[in-house]
Amino acid sequence: MTPTEAKRPLQLNDQGQLRHFLSLDDLPRELLTEILDTADSFLEVGARAVKKVPLLRGKTVCNVFFENSTRTRTTFELAAQRLSADVITLNVSTSSTSKGESLFDTLRNLEAMAADMFVVRHGDSGAAHFIAEHVCPDVAIINGGDGRHSHPTQGMLDMLTIRRHKGSFENLSVAIVGDILHSRVARSNMIALKTLGCPDIRVIAPKTLLPVGIEQFGVTTYSNMDAGLKDVDVVIMLRLQRERMQGGLLPSEGEFYRLFGLTEQRLKLAKPDALVMHPGPINRGVEIESAVADGPQSVILNQVTYGIAIRMAVLSMAMSGQNTQRQLNQESEEQN
């Protein structure tokens, strides 16, 4: 490793361009804005008769999903295809990992397929970072969600949804509601909102579903739903992640809905034009009332549409950053 590589953040190349996309931690506001602007430019591709641009023609994107996620996997596949890449999706349920093969050995076998980019979703926090640290230099790694740590493309598609409906972030009040403790989406959203200049980020949850040290994200916590929703511009509901819970963190789903479910009556506490968002899948009658999820203030389906554009932006920007770094390395070798 060269001294320059040792100093450079893992996600960025020597010129500060995106090289991997692992989390939103420490990424500058300018880069997040560039991702949003690039995604904006890709939205019109979805309206074309031929939904293709040639930016990744000849490149191979490998989706490696160790966790199930129909929505995220499908939108990554569509994003890569619309960029004209060849797409491979690894069926983990029938792969060698289910037979005990290590993540490192799986990585080496995938590298042998000569893919240019891996989109990785894994149940262990830090898995995407591990792969990025050990993958061969010319391969880009995109985090499709890792444990409780990060879901950066979901965070950015949520930011695109907010920006397209509300404009700038500087005067907004945003409430994130529900299972904060187990949610990588909540963490990514808190980081993105703070980086983009949102002055009032509220977190609403029972105390048993709040992580220790959440104050470091610059948020205000509420254990009372009505108080937390007062006059907010955006309400981001989270899925109650029952598969990650251990012990009696909640008395019952019915009690959670009574105290923290988003109903039509509760939504009236927010501003009249407040957005309602949810990363999905929705547990109706547990986190949110159907009338709200399907109502005029809901932009949940818009989030899915914007997700394709965000993932196109990230894939294209990371590949461009890798290409730039390769050229810089070649020029450096020639000079030496």
The pLDDT score that the predictor gives to residue 8 is 56
Torsion region of 178: left, alpha or beta (phi above 0 gives left; psi -120 to 50 gives alpha): left
More confident residue, 332 or 323: 323
184 is in an annotated binding site: yes
194 is in an annotated binding site: no
121 is in an annotated binding site: yes
What's the CATH number of domain 152-299, 3.40.50.2300, 1.10.1740.10, 3.40.50.10320, 3.40.50.1370?
Answer: 3.40.50.1370
List pLDDT tens digits, range 248-275: 456 678 888 999 999 999 999 999 999 9
* The CATH number of domain 3-150+305-335 is 3.20.20.80: no
Residue 109 has pLDDT above 90, yes or no: no
Neighbours of 296 (CB within 10 A): 8
Q: Do domains 3-150+305-335 and 152-299 have the same CATH topology?
A: yes
Residue 300 has pLDDT above 50, yes or no: yes
8 is in an annotated binding site: no
Residue 1 has pLDDT above 60, yes or no: no
165 is in an annotated binding site: no
Q: Looking at the whole model, is its pTM more than 0.75?
A: yes
> Which amino acid is it at 236?
I
The pLDDT score that the predictor gives to residue 107 is 75
CB 106 within 8 A of CB 95: yes
List pLDDT tens digits, range 46-89: 888 889 999 999 999 999 888 878 889 999 999 999 999 999 98
154 is in an annotated binding site: yes
Range list of H helices, the chain: 3-7, 29-42, 70-82, 103-111, 127-134, 152-166, 184-195, 225-229, 253-260, 264-267, 290-293, 300-335
99 is in an annotated binding site: yes
220 is in an annotated binding site: no
Neighbours of 168 (CB within 10 A): 11
Sign of CA dihedral 120, 123, 129, 131: negative
266 is in an annotated binding site: no
Q: Band the pLDDT of 99: cuts 50, 70, 90.
A: low
Domain boundaries, the chain: 3-150+305-335, 152-299
Distance CA 193, CA 299 (A): 18
